[in-house]
Amino acid sequence: MKLPWLKRYLPRSLFSRTLLIFAVPIITVQLVVTVLFIQRHYAGVTEQMTQAVAVELIYAAETVEAAPDAEEAQKRLDALAIPLGLFLTLEDGTIRQRDSVAFYDVSGSALVDTLADRIQRPLAIDINSDDKVVFVRIQTQKGVLAAEVPRRRMVASNPHLLLVWMLVTSAVLSAIAVLFLRNQVKPIRQLAHAAEEFGKGRTVRFRPAGAEEIRRAGAAFLSMRARIERQIDQRTRMLSGVSHDLRTPLTRMKLALAVADPGLEVEELGRDVDEMERMLEGFLAFARGEGAEEAEETDPIAIAELIGSDTRRTGRSIAVASTSDTPQNGLVLLRPVAVKRSVQNLVDNALTYGGQVALAVRLLPKFVEFIVEDDGPGIDEAAREEAMRPFVRLDRARNQDAGGGVGLGLSIAMDVARSHGGTLELGHSDRLGGLRAVLRLPR
């Protein structure tokens, strides 16, 4: 049975949910046992003990009725008081009302109801004036029979001890169970932390521990992490090796073109060689997207200002701005070279297709955002996801690598964002009217 509305009120963590599964049955059992104990034992025993006292009070009332006058009735009551263990007196007047009992006083309610049911005479019962004595007043033809009955004769003594011991024992056992539960959940949290850090491009030390199933999951994670790292290393080595091997003939071609006689064909071959060299640089940059660079505490604002300074030295204009919601902590754990390269690709892409380009950095409590905007033609919403794929060049509006590129500019930025556990989002710039690229990295 599915209850979607109930999910909003349930805890989200495994420890809290397991604790809830553990606590609910215990509390339910405690409540059931308490209610049954109060109804079946506490109230039941009180009722049985009160019935015995009610018989004695009925006998005392009948003794008063059988006496010829009030004086004789008092003498007979004095004679009954010692063997019955009650203090009995005969008073003038009539009974007007019956005293009330608090709703939570289970034994008091059982006591009053039992006396009223068995005696069948007008009576008043006072159980509030003294917690050790019950005052009972019974109406007779010769006056009011007043009786003082020790409460222990009608109420079970110390019945709450069972409940107290039950609660104390449950609390102690629950505390011990919580400690064991924390130890069982701890390996799962460590596994989740290691997986989260690896998703951000950071390798932390992790050793499988805990129950057998958790150990197997931890071992599977370590094997998966090793395979991914090996695959990344093999890809980087392969692309680096291919690029290195291709540089040798390219270098020879450039030397041959340098000493060749100038001409149209030589210029065309030179452009082809330059394009091939840019393609190799793109391959290397893509291969280094998840390279061996270690993450370190870095100032994102300094990265943005450095990119702006490098861009202005080339004669191009760019506006750089920054905001911070955490001025007391301006450092973020990231790989600065990879992040700078990805943001530089976004800026170069914007400068290629826009006249005005703005770079902004936002330091949020949980994220850091690099926002690049331009006034160019932008990218259609339907083509934005495709534009971030490797080796894809858009045919219309704009592409991410003009001038002989291979379609790796946005792919490198996306690759770096994912290696940090972040995202790259493309959208429309309301400020400049062109493309808005947001590189969002977790802190």
CB neighbours of residue 146 within 10 Å: 16
Q: Report the largest interatomic distance among the alpha carbons of the chain, rounded to a whole angstrom.
A: 154
The rounded distance, in Å, linking the Cα atoms of 83 and 85 is 6
77, 63 in Cβ contact below 8 A? Answer: yes
- pTM for this entry: 0.50
Q: Where are the alpha helices (DSSP H) in 37-158?
A: 43-66, 70-84, 106-119
User: In this predicted structure, what is the pLDDT of residue 282?
Assistant: 65
Identity of the amino acid at 387: A
- The CA–CA distances, whole Å, from 422 to 104, 167, 287, 339, 442 equal 59, 49, 19, 11, 6
Residues 6+ apart with CB under 8 A from 100: none
**CATH 3.30.450 matches 26-153:** yes
User: In this structure, which CATH number among 3.10.20.340, 3.40.190.10, 3.30.1360.120, 3.30.565.10 belongs to the domain 294-442?
Assistant: 3.30.565.10
User: In this predicted structure, what is the pLDDT of residue 404?
Assistant: 42
Query: Which sequence spans correspond to the domains of the chain?
Result: 26-153, 189-292, 294-442
User: In this predicted structure, what is the pLDDT of residue 316?
Assistant: 86
CB neighbours of residue 48 within 10 Å: 13
**CATH 1.10.287.130 matches 189-292:** yes
Angle, nearest 10°, between helix axes 212-259 and 264-287?
160
Q: Where are the alpha helices (DSSP H) in 260-293?
A: 264-287
How confident is the prediction along the chain (443 residues), in pLDDT tens digits per residue? 556 666 677 777 777 778 788 788 888 887 887 777 666 667 778 888 899 999 999 999 999 889 888 888 888 888 888 888 889 999 888 886 656 676 667 677 888 888 888 988 888 888 888 888 989 999 888 889 999 999 888 876 665 666 778 788 888 888 888 888 888 888 888 898 888 888 766 778 888 888 888 889 999 999 998 888 888 777 777 777 777 777 778 888 888 888 888 888 888 888 888 877 777 776 666 665 555 567 789 999 999 999 999 888 888 889 999 998 888 888 988 888 888 988 988 998 888 888 899 999 999 988 999 999 999 888 888 888 887 776 666 644 444 444 444 556 788 888 888 888 889 999 998 889 899 999 999 88
Q: Which of helix, strand or coil describes residue 38? A: helix
Which helix H or strand E contains 227, and what residues bound it?
A: helix 212-259
Residue 347 exposed, middle or buried by CB count within 10 Å (0-12, 13-18, 19+) = buried
250, 242 in Cβ contact below 8 A? Answer: no
